[in-house]
Amino acid sequence: MGARTPSILVAAALLAAAPAAAQSAPTRRGPLPSRDEWLLAQPMLTLPAAAPDPLDHGETEVRFDGDWGSDFSWVGGFGGPSGDLRYLVDGEHRSGSLTVRRGFGGGVTLGVRVPLLWRGPGILDGVIDWWHRAFGFPDGGRSFFPDNQFRVEGRDPSRRPIAWKGRAGTGLGNVELDVQHVITGRDDARGWRTALAWCASLPTATGTFSGAGSGIGVQLLAAHPLGSRVDLYAGAGSAFNTRRTFQGITYRRARPQGFLALEARVTHGWSAIAQLDAASRLVTNLDSYPGSTIYLRVGSKFGLRHGWMLEGGITEGLIHQVAATDFGLIVGIARRF
C-alpha cells in the first residue's frame, strides 16, 4: 500500500480542487457504486456499494458510468516445463453501463442495468511503469514482462497447467435487475436507515463474455449521519453465480462482499468520498490465489442544476494486491427527474 499512497493523495487533491456546483442537490449522494472489474471477476456478478435511500414515488434516475483499469498480477516464476509459475494475469478492462431506477413508494426502488464490457492488452502499462521508475516504487514484477500484453496463465494446486480460453474483445455483459426495500428509518434519515437489496443477473452476455451464466445477489445496506455534513455507509452480502467453471477458471459459487464508506459534504454541491470495498476469494483452481480482495476508492460527486450529478474517482488495490485492479479510473453522470 505504501508505494501507492502518493498516487492516492495526488488524485484526491486533484478531485478536491475541482470547482463545486452550488446548486440544489440531494441531502446525501451515497458511496461510489463501483464493482470488481478485475479481469477474472469482470464476467461475474459482483455487488456495488449503495445507499439505503429510496427514490421517491414516481421519481426516476438514469445513470451512465465507466470504469477503466490496469490488471496485473504475477505469483511465482516464469512458467515453462520446470518453472515455478503459480499464475499470471496481465491486461486491462474497460466497462460502461446504463442504469435506470424508479421509485414505487413505500421505500421500494426497482432498477435495471445494461453493461458493455471490454478486455484486452490496453495502453496503460507504459504510464504506470513510468510512474514506478520516476518515484522509485516497486512495480510488482511488471518490468519483467512486455508492455500492453493480454495473458492469463497459471497452474492448479497440483501444479498442472491451466488452459484459459478467454480472449480479448468487446461484448454485452449480463443484464441485471434489482429491487431495494427500506427496512428501517424510511421517514427519518437522522438515525440509522437500513435496506435490503436483491439483484438478479440474467445470462445475456455476448462475445467473449458469453456463457458466464447467471447470478443472484443480496446485501444489507445501512447509513447513519455523523453530524450535519458527514454520513457513514456500510453494506454486507453475497453474490451467488450459477456457473462454477468458465473459460478454464473455477470460481467460488458464493462470494461474500462488503463495503464501508464516508461521504463529506464539503460544500452545498460537492461531496468527497473515501471507500473500502472487500470480497472473499474469487478463484479456486489457481495455485496461491489469495483469499480476499480489498480496494480503496477515493472520489467526488457534484450536484448540478436540474437534478444532474457528476462523479469521478480512482481505484487502488490494497495490501500488495495480487488479485485486484492495480489502478483504475471511474466516472459517472446521472440525472433524477
Tell me what pLDDT residue 6 has.
43
Average pLDDT, the chain: 88
Percentage, residues of the chain above pLDDT 70:
85
Single out the residue of 270, 258, 274 nearest to residue 8, CA to CA.
274
Rounded percentage of the chain residues whose pLDDT exceeds 90: 72
**Each residue's pLDDT tens digit, 174-193:** 999 999 999 999 988 789 99
Enter the C-alpha cell of residue 12. 484526491
pLDDT value of position 233: 98
Is residue 246 within a helix (H) or strand (E), and if so which, with residue range?
A: strand 245-246
Residue 237 CA to chain centroid, in angstroms? 15
pLDDT tens per residue across span 230-264: 999 999 999 999 999 999 999 999 999 999 999 99
pLDDT in the model for residue 19? 41
- Could you give the 3-state DSSP secondary structure of residue 9? helix
At 60-110, the pLDDT tens digits run 999 999 999 999 888 887 655 446 889 999 999 999 999 999 999 999 999
231, β-bridge pairs: 225, 263
Instruction: Provide the H-helix boundaries in the chain.
Output: 5-17, 125-135
CA distance 202 to 205: 8
Residue 139: its pLDDT value, please?
62
pLDDT for the residue numbered 98: 98
What's the CATH class of domain 5-336? Answer: mainly beta
pLDDT the model gives residue 135: 63
Backbone angle region of 166, left / alpha / beta, with phi > 0 → left and psi within -120 to 50 → alpha: beta
The answer to whether the CB of 148 falls within 8 A of the CB of 123 is yes
Report d(CA 309, CA 177) in Å as an integer.
23
Span 38-65, average pLDDT: 97
Does this model's pTM top 0.85? My answer is yes
Q: What is the pLDDT of residue 272?
A: 97
141 has a pLDDT exceeding 90:
no
Nine cell digits for residue 290: 489469495
Could you tell me which residues are beta bridge partners of residue 151?
Answer: 90
pLDDT, tens only, 18-32:
443 333 334 799 999
Structural domain boundaries in the chain: 5-336
